Amino acid sequence: MENSYSYEVSSITVPSLTLESGTTLYNINLAYERTGNKDGPVILVCHALTGTHIVKGTSEDQGWWDGLVGPGSYIDTDLYNVIAFNVLGGCEGSTGPTSTDLETGGRYGPDFPHITIRDMVHSQYEALQQLSVERIEAVIGGSLGGMQALEWGALYPTYINKVFALAVSPALNDYGLAFNHIGITAIEGDPEFQNGHYPHGSILKGLEIARMVGMVTYRTQELFDRRFQRVRTNEQYNVESYLDYQGKKLGKRFDPNSYLTLLKAMNTHDIGRGRGGSEMVADSYPCELVSISYEGDLIYSPQYLKEFTLQVPKGEHYFIPTAFGHDGFLVEFEKWGGIISSHLKNHQDQKIVTGMK
């Protein structure tokens, strides 16, 4: 088993992909991380809005799900081969607004075509074909990643066995659309945005503000109050300096056009779009669907996800009590990681008996 363990960060090229809009992209590059037992069943991980394909990472540079994925962990890389792609439209090595448009020779910038969650999934499927992956045991993701996971079950049901959808809902509701609109308006209204033609590498205040708005929705009032307690330092409340820091941190590493591309893709998320509605999709959803909601998630209603999941013939839903709200899928793995490992093992040696079903 030890000899079959490998770790790789690379990229794959998809020759062409026709988007839902009808536009065809050529020579699409998708950056990926592949780790674990190279002979084991494949698990595909889909990342969230500002996440990356570096899920496991290394001891020197840990990935964002290092606490969930690894040897002997909840997603056991001694048993499974774990693959994650940076999404189409991203800015961490995959084709997106910062990439070169082969027709013009310049960066796509604001001219990068509109994409949907379904386009992301199609691009990953084509990339997996290039990697000679014949079948996926499970796909898992939270938030934007959860949107992709749900779509995998609808688009390629014979290619996968299990779908793990975390901190998501069958469609992005109007509350989520509203917050995305604020973020989009903040970026596009920044004078430095220049209709998307800002110099490459620019740090825009509009993006920083959009990030601040997002951060407020990711966690709960309880957590904010407990952490900051109205304390002021240097004439500024600590919660204000925290949001300033988070905005600047993202602004330094994320492309504004890419952020817009992904927000607008999230707006398209509706599992029932063009399929007769979410209830019809649920009734005929062929894969095993395991969904997990987190207490205090402002955007992705636990009740909405529960209702959808319980309509799925092979659906089970879990509710995790937490003060972290939406960000629950990034922390406190001891509360819900066992759910993942149990379902991967088909409930053998189950150690977790939690939540609502």
Query: What is the separation, in whole angstroms, between the first and last Cα of the chain?
Result: 36
Confidence of residue 102 (pLDDT cuts 50, 70, 90): confident
Q: What is the pLDDT of residue 351?
A: 37
The answer to whether residues 30 and 12 touch, using CB atoms and an 8 Å cutoff, is: yes
The answer to whether residues 137 and 36 touch, using CB atoms and an 8 Å cutoff, is: no
**Whether the predicted pLDDT of 234 surpasses 50:** yes
**In this predicted model, what pLDDT tens digit does every residue of 45-93 receive, in sequence order?**
999 999 999 999 999 999 999 999 999 999 999 999 999 999 999 999 9
Q: What is the pLDDT of residue 262?
A: 98
- In this predicted model, which residue has the larger pLDDT, 48 or 348? 48
Angle at 344 between CA 338 and CA 345, to 5 degrees: 90
Task: Kindly list the distances between the CA atom of residue 114 and the CA atoms of 51, 119, 258, in Å, as whole numbers in the listed order.
Answer: 20, 10, 11
Residue with tokens 């800002």: 198
Q: What is the pLDDT of residue 272?
A: 98
Residue partners of 275: CB distance under 8 A and separation at least 6? 154, 281
Q: Count Cβ atoms within 10 A of the Cβ of residue 147 and give its class: 0-12 exposed, 13-18 middle, 19 or more buried.
A: buried
pTM: predicted TM-score of the whole model, two decimal places = 0.94
Residue 114 CB: number of other CB atoms within 10 A? 14
**Whether the predicted pLDDT of 217 surpasses 70:** yes
Residue among 122, 269, 317, 326 flagged as catalytic:
326
**In this predicted model, what pLDDT tens digit does every residue of 312-344 receive, in sequence order?**
999 999 999 999 999 999 999 999 999 999 999
**Whether the predicted pLDDT of 354 surpasses 60:** no
Residue among 297, 317, 341, 342 flagged as catalytic:
297
Q: What is the pLDDT of residue 4?
A: 87
Average confidence (pLDDT) over 167-173: 98
- In this predicted model, which residue has the larger pLDDT, 275 or 346? 275
Nearest of 57, 62, 52 to residue 31 by alpha carbon: 52
**Whether the predicted pLDDT of 143 surpasses 90:** yes
Phi-psi category of residue 110: left, alpha or beta, with phi > 0 → left and psi -120 to 50 → alpha: alpha
SS3 345: coil
**Whether the predicted pLDDT of 153 surpasses 50:** yes
Strands of 38-98 (E only): list them: 42-46, 69-70, 75-76, 81-85
The answer to whether residues 31 and 11 touch, using CB atoms and an 8 Å cutoff, is: yes
Angle at 178 between CA 220 and CA 170, to 5 degrees: 75
- 326 tagged catalytic: yes
Residue among 94, 123, 143, 293 flagged as catalytic:
143
Q: What is the pLDDT of residue 193?
A: 98
> What backbone torsions phi and psi does residue 344 show, to the nearest 5 degrees?
-65, -30
